[in-house]
Amino acid sequence: LLTNRGRGWRGAVGFIPPEGTPKGLGLEPGERVIGFAVPRPEAYLVMGTRAGKVKRTRVQDLSLPARTWDAVMGLSGEGDEVLFGSVAGAGAHILFYTAQGQLLRLDGDEINPQQTGTATGVAGAKVRAGDRLLGGIVVPAAAKEETKWQVVVFSERGYAHRTSLAEFSVQGRGATGTRCLRETKSGGGMGGVTVAKSGAVDVYLEDGRRQRFDLKEIPEGARDVRGERLVEAQDSVIARVVNLS
């Protein structure tokens, strides 16, 4: 398990309670779980922060004691937090996306692993003035399977489209990325992004509602479009998009 404070927990699934409060899970005030994955020995733990830092650590180098929270990534200062994290092998790529619809694709293999849990990573994404990072995704085996992956984009007001990952070229660290959403008055800014080859896509709104779509139900489109309305956000906005494959 990974948290926004850069801490990790490793243990058998049976030690996670079926229902539990943040305090019961051992989280500090304001701390929340932002990712989880199966730690395969030959893979890497990959994380990205609001400050645009990215870090890779070999799973075999993690010094996490069993069932104890400990540092897996240092933060760059006040206001910084880990936005996303996952475990992936060689050939994985990393996507950062912003509130104004920029998407940056990085080659994970070009990021040198860091072993120390408190290391803050290296510069990953640069954000334009007035914009901010919203999240990111680790795409496994993207280097070999980019034509099979679809980038799914939802605006905060419920408009959506999908585009092949191959339409987003790999850029160097410190770039601002490529526009993946046309911001409009009716559609608003970015709501969420996920990457999928198949399966369902879950859309979560800030008011607690959830809607599920099969990947094929989401219209295909060019990179920089508003898309078509799929969700009636009403007085809420879309907060997260997740692939269930």
Please provide the DSSP assignment of the chain as one string. Answer: -EETTSEE-B--GGGS-SS--TTTTTPPTT--EEE-----TTSEEEEEETTSEEEEEEGGG--PPBT--EES----STT--EEEEEEE-TT-EEEEEETTSEEEEEEGGGS-----TT---EE-B---TT--EEEEEEETTHHHHTTT-EEEEEETTSEEEEEEGGGS----TTB--EE----BTTTBSEEEEEEESSSEEEEEETTS-EEEEEGGGSPB--SS---EE----TTS-EEEEEEE-
Sign of CA dihedral 40, 109, 102, 140: negative
pLDDT given at position 236: 97
Q: pTM for the whole thing?
A: 0.95
Residue 244 has what pLDDT?
82
What pLDDT does 72 receive? 97
**Tens of pLDDT, residue by residue, the chain (245 residues):** 999 999 999 999 999 888 888 988 999 999 999 999 999 989 999 999 999 999 999 999 998 999 999 999 999 989 999 999 999 999 999 999 999 999 999 999 999 999 999 999 999 999 999 999 999 999 999 999 999 999 999 999 999 999 999 999 999 999 999 999 999 999 999 999 999 999 999 999 999 999 999 999 999 999 999 999 999 999 999 999 999 87
Residue 20: per-residue pLDDT: 82
Task: Give the strand order in the sheet containing 7-8.
Answer: 33-35, 2-3, 7-8, 70-71
Tokens standing for residue 211? 């809607």
Residues 6 or more apart whose Cβ sits within 8 Å of residue 101: 153, 179, 180, 181, 182, 183, 189, 190, 224
Q: Residue 19's pLDDT is what?
A: 85
